[in-house]
């Protein structure tokens, strides 16, 4: 199987995905959840199904602005600014008046500084995991071109995941929350996971067959491990898809983020990491 | 090969015994099968004179069990640095007392410090009336006794409340106990106070100084009542009579008994989950997990036949051991935690896939079935080890075991990290050690 002849195709796919991600991040930005932006998120059940205008008027009466309302039958998710517990009590009693069978499902409120703090912690976590994975890969392969290509492929996946959530946020209302960050970090590790298995095989073949050049080695290794890569991703995809379809709404986007990460990770070890590694190897040969 | 047979068999039976034990631990407390009711053994045992009775229930986090979580910011600006650690500890102890007054079992109070910022998290499982909880925890309940002096007539026009109040030095720290009681004459509900020796002296002095004047009793700088002092009270006993009903009198007594907070606190984040939403999440999570598991099992059998079937057995053992560990450690399950578990099931078969693919190659190369088995397990080990190290590194960063303040320590993220971490380590164990030994024994006829 000569999979490396598709390298121009991989280049096109990756470039398109990255460009689309950067475009979306710059022009559409993100929808931050209250975890990051600060504010309140209130999930309530109102069986009488009042209109959005009715709810908005309750909020404006109390000098509060109801920013977004999303409804699913009798369930309402309301987003508004950070409030005190007294203000919340007033709102609850107003809702009770509006609908006697009103019940609260979930409520969260936090100030803006706390959100900024979480954002800072998140960036630290990403930097720390990238660095430690870089150190691990570097020490594992003792070859900079292997390590660097694995890390670039890993960042490629993270960028596409972040970009796709910018796009999903723009069109479907997906939010960036603390769990999304967890998904990014999990993607980083699963991306490296796949790359390591492939690189391991290339090194093993290298020590066995001296005649093959790097491209041939890569082809042989990929054709040997691709079934394993795909099968392994399939099992994870089965679990995640059933979570997306059947799991609760509170972690649906989390499962989707993990799903995108796993698919990207499987693709990037063949489509990004190996072509990058080959790029450096060919240059070395030219010098000789 | 033959020499190892006995050892292999021992391992095989140990695996089966462990599985059976885990199965029993994971049984419901009681269940009905074929018309008979069975009870799960309690696993209590005696060692010397002490009895061990492990709690085998699964613990659910706030997002699954329902409840409230409050985050307070601690104002440390008025405390010197050397007093700070003590003040923080006494604040925590105080809040714990207040939470206990609220009657919540398994409530947790945690301090976290980041540079100059000090925070306090209070988790209250099962609490639905969040506002009452906030009131009880957050109110400072500072009790003060102040004398009211008469001002010269020309000053009264501009005087504020502060100008007429003179501190007597008597405050909540001198309080031994406060309790609600009905007034013997009127039947109105009052809160009775009893002071310690020093407090009794101060109270005697105050009643002497302000005899026939008014003495104000302040709670959080607000006058509750300002009775006229009729007699000098030497025994350190007093009553507060405001407009109390039995509930508010109890509440005030509870607050006074718990004492004043050593540091002022401010609520900055609150979140609350209704119990119904949590139960819904658990049911959906279990259903999604089971269906995913079935898909993975069919996939493994479809791809690897007999080997796949053994891997599926390995997976079931994996699931049982994981659940048992959740109960024994114990791991508090959150919904992201369930996602972590489900994800780790998908990852657990990875070791098997790596090994089985390797086996196919070795078989194609003409090696015997048993040889291929041993070679594949040996060779695939390197890849399995390296690949999983990455996931372990990431899971550790997410779990933040040393509570580094620059990293996240929220329950959601940790819940995910801990199940993922456990899942990976156990996945390696069942994927490599357990399946290998199952295969060695069950596939012997192919020798």
Mean of pLDDT over chain A: 84
In a domain, B186, yes or no: yes
Query: What's the pLDDT tens digit per position in B379-398?
Result: 888 778 887 888 888 888 88
Contacts of B119 (CB under 8 A, 6+ apart): B71, B72, B73, B74, B111, B112, B113, B268
Report whether B263 contacts B91 (CB < 8 A): yes
Query: What's the pLDDT tens digit per position in B131-189?
Result: 777 777 766 566 778 888 776 666 655 666 666 777 887 877 777 777 888 888 888 88
Q: Where are the alpha helices (DSSP H) in A211-251?
A: 214-246
> Which CATH number does the domain housing residue B11 bear?
1.20.1640.10
B169 and B302 part of one domain:
no
CB contact under 8 A, B390 and A136: yes
Location of structure tokens 């631990």 = B25
In a domain, B229, yes or no: yes
Q: pLDDT class for B260, splitting at 50, 70, 90?
A: low
Question: What is the least distance, in Å, from the CA of A287 to any CA of chain B?
Answer: 32
| CATH of segment(s) A3-34+114-287 | 1.20.1640.10
For residue B119, give its domain range.
Answer: 67-140+267-272
Nearest by Cα to A85 from B132, B69, B122, B219? B132
Residue B330, chain A, CB below 8 Å: the answer is: no
Distances (CA, A) of A269 to A55, A146, A225, A282: 50, 11, 11, 19
* Chain B CB contacts of A84 below 8 Å: 267
B117 and B158 part of one domain:
no
CA distance A262 to A258: 6
Q: Phi then psi for B103, rounded to 5 degrees?
A: 75, 35
B313 and B433 part of one domain:
yes
> Which CATH number does the domain housing residue B127 bear?
3.30.70.3220
Nearest by Cα to B57 from B120, B16, B105, B100? B105
Location of structure tokens 């022009």 = A27
B283 and B431 part of one domain:
yes
B208 and B333 part of one domain:
no
Q: A39-110 sits in which CATH class?
A: alpha beta
Query: What's the pLDDT tens digit per position in A190-248?
Result: 888 888 888 888 888 888 877 778 888 888 888 888 888 888 888 888 888 988 888 77
- Most confident range (mean pLDDT) of A16-30, B224-238, B431-445 is A16-30
In a domain, B36, yes or no: no
This complex has an ipTM of 0.79
* Chain B CB contacts of A108 below 8 Å: 269-272
B324 and B401 part of one domain:
yes
Query: What's the pLDDT tens digit per position in A11-45?
Result: 899 999 999 999 999 998 888 887 778 888 888 88
Domain boundary among B205, B234, B260: B260
Environment class of A56 (CB within 10 Å of its CB; exposed 0-12, middle 13-18, buried 19+): middle
Q: Nearest CB to B393: which of A189, A238, A254?
A: A189
Report whether A195 contacts A152 (CB < 8 A): no
B132 and B157 part of one domain:
no
B292 and B179 part of one domain:
no
Count of pairs with CB atoms under 8 A, one residue in A, one in B: 203
Domain boundary among B252, B272, B292: B272
CB contact under 8 A, B394 and A189: yes
CA distance B442 to B445: 8
CA distance B1 to B440: 10
Report whether A9 contacts A152 (CB < 8 A): no
Environment class of B111 (CB within 10 Å of its CB; exposed 0-12, middle 13-18, buried 19+): middle
In a domain, B106, yes or no: yes
E-strand ranges in chain A read 39-45, 66-72, 75-80, 103-110
CB contact under 8 A, A251 and B335: yes
E-strand ranges in B290-415 read 332-333
Report whether B393 contacts A189 (CB < 8 A): yes
Question: What is the least distance, in Å, from the CA of A273 to any CA of chain B?
Answer: 15
CB contact under 8 A, B339 and A128: no
B115 and B172 part of one domain:
no
* Chain A CB contacts of B390 below 8 Å: 133, 136, 189, 192-193, 196
Question: What is the least distance, in Å, from the CA of A13 to any CA of chain B?
Answer: 26
Q: Phi then psi for B429, rounded to 5 degrees?
A: -60, -50
| Total domain count, chain B | 3
In a domain, B51, yes or no: no
SS3 (DSSP) at B109: strand
Question: What is the least distance, in Å, from the CA of A91 to any CA of chain B?
Answer: 12
> Which CATH number does the domain housing residue B256 bear?
3.30.1360.200
B294 and B417 part of one domain:
yes
Q: What is the pTM of this model?
A: 0.75
CA distance B257 to A59: 39
* Chain B CB contacts of A179 below 8 Å: 336, 412-413, 416
The pairing of strands B45-47 and B50-52 is: antiparallel
| Integer Rg of chain B from CA | 32
Residue B172 confidence (pLDDT): 73
B128 and B189 part of one domain:
no
* Percent of chain A whose predicted confidence (pLDDT) is above 90: 13
Environment class of A240 (CB within 10 Å of its CB; exposed 0-12, middle 13-18, buried 19+): buried
CB contact under 8 A, A111 and B342: no
Q: Residue B211, by phi and psi: left (phi above 0), alpha (psi -120 to 50) or beta?
A: beta
Domain boundary among B213, B239, B272: B272
Environment class of B209 (CB within 10 Å of its CB; exposed 0-12, middle 13-18, buried 19+): middle
Location of structure tokens 């890969």 = A137
B75 and B212 part of one domain:
no
E-strand ranges in A98-181 read 103-110
In a domain, B33, yes or no: no
In a domain, B219, yes or no: yes
DSSP-assigned letter for residue A273: I
Location of structure tokens 């990976």 = B424
Report whether A198 contacts A223 (CB < 8 A): no
CA distance B54 to B39: 16
CB contact under 8 A, B394 and A185: yes
Indicate the domain borders of chain A.
3-34+114-287, 39-110
What does the block give as tokens for B300? 């493994």
Q: Nearest CB to B342: which of A193, A197, A239?
A: A239
CB contact under 8 A, B387 and A105: no
What does the block give as tokens for B339? 């996602």
Q: pLDDT class for A162, splitting at 50, 70, 90?
A: very high
Nearest by Cα to B324 from B14, B60, B1, B25? B25
């Amino acid at each position: 199987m000569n999979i490396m002849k598709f390298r121009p195709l991989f280049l096109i796919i990756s470039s398109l995905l990255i460009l689309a991600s950067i475009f979306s991040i710059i022009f559409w930005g993100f929808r931050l959840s209250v975890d990051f932006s600060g504010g309140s998120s209130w999930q309530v059940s109102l069986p009488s199904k009042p209109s959005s205008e009715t709810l908005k008027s309750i909020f404006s009466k109390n000098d509060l602005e109801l920013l977004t309302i999303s409804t699913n039958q009798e369930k309402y998710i309301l987003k508004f600014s950070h409030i005190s517990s007294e203000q919340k009590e007033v709102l609850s009693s107003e809702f009770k008046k509006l609908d006697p069978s009103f019940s609260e499902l979930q409520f969260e409120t936090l100030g803006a500084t706390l959100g900024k703090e979480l954002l800072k912690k998140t960036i630290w976590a990403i930097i720390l995991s990238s660095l430690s994975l870089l150190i691990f890969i570097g020490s594992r392969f003792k070859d900079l071109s292997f390590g660097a290509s694995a890390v670039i492929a890993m960042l490629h996946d993270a960028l596409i995941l972040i970009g796709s959530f910018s796009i999903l946020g723009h069109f479907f209302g997906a939010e960036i929350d603390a769990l999304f960050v967890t998904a990014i970090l999990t993607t980083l590790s699963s991306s490296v996971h796949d790359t390591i298995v492939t690189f391991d095989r290339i090194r093993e073949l290298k020590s066995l067959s001296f005649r093959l050049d790097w491209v041939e080695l890569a082809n042989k290794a990929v054709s040997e491990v691709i079934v394993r890569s795909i099968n392994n991703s399939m099992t994870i995809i089965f679990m995640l898809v059933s979570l997306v379809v059947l799991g609760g709404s509170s972690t649906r986007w989390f499962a989707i983020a993990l799903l995108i990460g796993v698919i990207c990770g499987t693709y990037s070890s063949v489509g990004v990491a190996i072509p990058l590694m080959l790029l450096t190897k060919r240059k070395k040969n030219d010098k000789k | 090969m033959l020499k190892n047979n006995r050892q292999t068999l021992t391992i095989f039976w140990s695996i089966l015994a462990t599985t059976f034990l885990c199965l029993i631990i994971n049984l419901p407390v009681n269940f009905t099968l074929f018309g008979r009711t069975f009870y799960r053994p309690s696993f209590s045992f005696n060692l010397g004179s002490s009895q061990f009775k492990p709690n085998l229930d699964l613990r659910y986090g706030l997002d699954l069990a329902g409840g409230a979580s409050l985050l307070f910011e601690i104002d440390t600006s008025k405390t010197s640095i050397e007093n700070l650690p003590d003040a923080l500890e006494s604040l925590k102890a105080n809040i714990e007392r207040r939470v206990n007054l609220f009657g919540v079992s398994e409530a947790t109070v945690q301090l976290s410090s980041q540079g100059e910022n000090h925070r306090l998290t209070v988790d209250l499982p099962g609490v639905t009336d969040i506002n009452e909880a906030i009131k009880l925890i957050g109110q400072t309940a500072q009790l003060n006794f102040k004398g009211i002096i008469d001002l010269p007539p020309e000053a009264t026009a501009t005087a504020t409340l502060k100008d007429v109040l003179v501190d007597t030095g008597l405050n909540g720290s001198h309080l031994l106990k406060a309790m609600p009681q009905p007034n013997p004459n009127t039947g109105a509900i009052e809160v009775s106070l009893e002071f310690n020796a020093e407090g009794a002296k101060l109270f005697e002095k105050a009643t002497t100084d302000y005899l026939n004047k008014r003495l104000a009793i302040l709670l959080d700088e607000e006058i509750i009542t300002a009775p006229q002092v009729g007699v000098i009270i030497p025994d350190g006993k007093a009553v507060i009579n405001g407009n109390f009903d039995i509930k508010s009198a109890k509440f005030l007594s509870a607050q006074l008994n718990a004492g004043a907070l050593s540091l002022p606190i401010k609520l900055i984040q609150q979140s609350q989950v209704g119990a119904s939403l949590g139960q819904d999440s658990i049911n959906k999570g279990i259903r999604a997990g089971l269906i995913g598991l079935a898909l993975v099992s069919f996939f493994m059998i479809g791809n690897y036949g007999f080997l796949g079937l053994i891997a599926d057995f390995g997976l079931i053992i994996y699931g049982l051991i994981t659940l048992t560990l959740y109960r024994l450690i114990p791991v508090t399950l959150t919904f992201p935690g369930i996602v972590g578990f489900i994800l780790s099931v998908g990852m657990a078969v990875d070791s098997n896939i790596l090994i089985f693919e390797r086996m196919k190659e070795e078989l194609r190369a003409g090696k015997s079935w048993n040889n291929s088995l041993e070679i594949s397990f040996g060779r695939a080990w390197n890849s399995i080890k390296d690949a999983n190290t990455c996931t372990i590194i990431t899971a550790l960063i997410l779990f933040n075991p040393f509570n580094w303040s620059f990293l996240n320590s929220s329950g959601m993220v940790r819940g995910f990290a801990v199940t993922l971490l456990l899942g990976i380590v156990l996945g390696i164990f069942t994927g490599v050690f357990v399946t290998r030994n199952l295969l060695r024994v069950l596939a012997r006829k192919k020798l």
